[in-house]
Amino acid sequence: MHLDVVDLRAFYYRTKLGRTAQRVLQERLREFWPETTGMTVAGFGFAAPFLRPFMQDAARLICMMPGQQGVMPWPPGEDNRSVLVEETLWPIAPGSIDRLIVAHGLETCERANALLEEIWRSLAPGGEVVFVLPNRSGSWSRSDATPFGYGRPYSFGQAEAQLRAHNFIPDQHKAALYGPPSHKPVWLKTAGMWERFGRRLDAQLIAGVLMIQATKQIYATPRPGSKVLVPGPLEVLEGLAGARPKPATQLSKS
């Protein structure tokens, strides 16, 4: 079940914890895609807080918000780039998105398989998507103080298996938000220290958020358990044995 856009906006734009999370996740996302010049960049779910760094170089930018959540104008004070969409039926031409951020979208979607199919349809060949997901083993998924405490939390293994089943190739993964999901000033002041500590130790088990970058797979692969038969060279030539050329019929002498 999706959270209401009013609650999401209040967390990310009106609380210190939300603004801290916004800054940390923006930095991590930019590490996946340091340059998006000339590309179409989009977000789905509530990805608005994470799209701003891509405004400087992306050719086109769109922020899609599902009807179950609601929509808000974005970015504030500028031409609107947000649109209300059906959760699994986007007004996007097939293969038109180069880079996509899905945040507060997959874990709250009741039709996750249909959503992944729509993401695959909308991505360009070789297009990339980053999923921002609550970490199953982290403290953020067990607290309702942030939006990451709602929906289905994931482990890296669970998320990657689901992506492969829908023709995505997981390429990279990162983790973020290592500090406690607390609005108390003492924890907010040490947020930077927690991030440096967690990244140095690669402490994914305690991270609040998992980030998985995957590429659209455009070639077919065998289903698990299916056999692929490759004929050997002798088998290829076997059919030629019965196709020997016949000698020309001799003309009878008159």
**Measured distance CA(67)–CA(86) in Å, rounded:** 6
Is pLDDT above 50 for 249? no
pLDDT tens digits along 52-107: 999 989 999 999 999 999 999 999 889 999 999 999 999 999 999 999 999 999 99
Is pLDDT above 50 for 17? yes
Whether cis (ω within 30° of 0) applies to the bond prior to 75 is: yes
| pLDDT above 70 coverage of the chain, percent | 86
Residue 202: per-residue pLDDT? 76
Average pLDDT value over all residues in the chain? 88
**Measured distance CA(221)–CA(57) in Å, rounded:** 35
pLDDT tens digits along 161-183: 999 999 999 999 999 999 999 99
Residue 223: per-residue pLDDT? 52
| pLDDT above 90 coverage of the chain, percent | 76
Residue 236: per-residue pLDDT? 41
pLDDT level of residue 222 (50, 70, 90 thresholds) = low
Residue 253: per-residue pLDDT? 46
Of 58, 44, 27, 33, nearest in space to 123 by CA:
44
pTM summary value = 0.85
Burial class (CB within 10 angstroms; exposed 0-12, middle 13-18, buried 19+) of 216:
buried
Is pLDDT above 70 for 141? yes
Residues 70/91, Cβ–Cβ less than 8 Å:
no
Q: Residue 58: what residue type?
A: A
